[in-house]
Amino acid sequence: MNRILRAIVIFLAVLAAAALIVVYGFQIRHVTVEGNDRYSADQISSDLTSTSLLKNTLYFAWKYRSAAASPEAPYLTSVKASIQSPTSVKVTVVESSLIGRVQVDGRNVYFDENGIVQMITDEVRSGVPLVTGVDVGSPELYQKLPVTNTSTFRTMLSITQLLIQSDFIPDSVSFDSSGNMTLRYGSVTVKLGQDEYLEEKIANLVQIYPKISSRTGTLNMEGFTGKNTSITFKETVKQSDETEGGDSGETLTGVGADTSQTDASAGSDQNSGTAEDGQAQNADNQNPDGQGQNEDSQNENGQGQDENSQNENNQDEDSSQNSTKGVMAFDSNGTLHYDAHIENGQVVDASGNPIAGCTVDENGNIKDAYWNVIDPATGQLVQ
């Protein structure tokens, strides 16, 4: 009996000693931080070890053994930890991205791709587009940006993320009361119009802008779809003592459009007119009446067939694009998906994975986790 009691006492003593070693011997005293930019290593270290349990090296390393978000530091999208010694750890962090900012009461409110407020500061950070014309309430840190118009909110997230991804940041992105978007790059104003073909518009804008960057005027892309649609640039002519001033316009062609009819480079209207007049005169001098009639007949028949065939092809392409592009929808985690579409009665992403919180209503529309009802064919909200 004495042996059993002695063994139990020894076991309990060893267990207590081990517990004391774990509790007091593995206490974090130093944190090495990698991957931070906006936030200091001291702030990240302090926030991540804010509780007594998180100060334990073994528990901390176990909790962040794989990249995971931290409720103690909501400005980080992932934290991954490794033990360096019983009293030190190394963490590799990824900060939330900033895709846009609005100004409220003279301060800059920065938000991420999910519309969550990440910073409220007097600082103006480069590479983040300013959004104006959006009705914002009273924003709170790490909360969803309180934009009153849901449709405008979705479009704002879409356009700012596209601009960030394209590394083509304007001076500002403004919305009017109808939801039309206007970008401003120095002396160039770009009218994008509604939330349609945004990816195509931005891709073509990136290609066209170098041709007009040194000029003053308005680039109209409101009706651009990327297929045989002209883009017009209306240049503002500065007033001088000899002229009253005015506007001159020219037509550009996007990189996705048919360039056989219009040169993508910025040629002047005067030169184009001179060239066309000269060609018309040469054609009149060289062609007798009979030959002109034959050419007219041939052009009418041939061109008509080509245009009909081309229009049918364009319609097929438009239909194919709309069916595969997908629409924007929020999942149950508040993440905005840009590729939501319906397959086999389910709302899925581009990879065919179901999007949590999204369903198909009785009318065949997509209902996302925020109760937005979206037309899957047009991507517009159903009133």
| pLDDT at residue 31 in the model | 94
| pLDDT at residue 271 in the model | 36
| pLDDT at residue 251 in the model | 57
How many alpha carbons lie under 13 Å from residue 123 in its C-beta half-sphere? Answer: 10
> Per the confidence metrics, is the pTM higher than 0.85?
no
Which ranges in the chain belong to alpha helices (H)? 2-20, 41-48, 57-63, 150-165, 198-212, 269-286, 289-325
| pLDDT at residue 347 in the model | 93
| pLDDT at residue 69 in the model | 86
Torsion over CA: 374, 174, 234, 204 (sign): negative
Name 26's Cβ contacts closer than 8 Å, sequence gap at least 6: 56, 57, 58, 86, 87
| pLDDT at residue 275 in the model | 32
Q: Any idea of the CA torsion for 280, 285, 291, 295, to the nearest 10 degrees?
A: -10
Q: How many helices (H) and strands (E) does the chain have?
A: 7, 19
Contact 47, 73 (CB under 8 A): yes
92: its two tokens:
């590799």
240: its two tokens:
């001088």
| pLDDT at residue 249 in the model | 58
Token match 């397959």: residue?
343
pLDDT tens digit at each of 383 positions of the chain: 577 776 676 667 667 666 666 565 688 999 999 999 999 999 999 999 988 888 889 889 999 998 888 889 999 999 999 999 988 999 999 999 999 999 999 999 999 999 999 999 999 998 999 999 999 989 999 999 999 888 999 999 999 999 999 999 999 999 999 999 999 999 999 999 999 889 989 988 998 999 899 999 999 998 887 665 668 899 887 654 444 444 555 555 554 443 333 333 333 343 333 333 333 333 344 444 444 444 444 444 444 444 444 444 444 444 344 344 688 877 877 677 878 899 999 999 888 899 998 999 988 999 988 778 888 888 777 75
User: d(Cα 92, Cα 72) in Å, to the nearest integer?
Assistant: 15
Question: Following DSSP, what letter does each residue of 218-235 receive, concatenated?
Answer: EEE-TT--SSS-EEEEEE
| pLDDT at residue 378 in the model | 83
Contact 359, 372 (CB under 8 A): no
Contact 379, 195 (CB under 8 A): yes
User: d(Cα 146, Cα 131) in Å, to the nearest integer?
Assistant: 14
In the sheet where 172-175 sits, what is the strand order?
Answer: 131-132, 172-175, 181-185, 188-193, 217-220, 230-237, 246-253
Nearest to 112 by CA among 123, 97, 133, 90: 97
Task: Count the helix, strand and coil residues of the chain and give each as a percent rounded to the nearest 5.
Answer: 35, 30, 40
- C-alpha angle 90/95/96, rounded to 5°? 155
Nearest to 195 by CA among 253, 238, 153: 153
| pLDDT at residue 329 in the model | 79
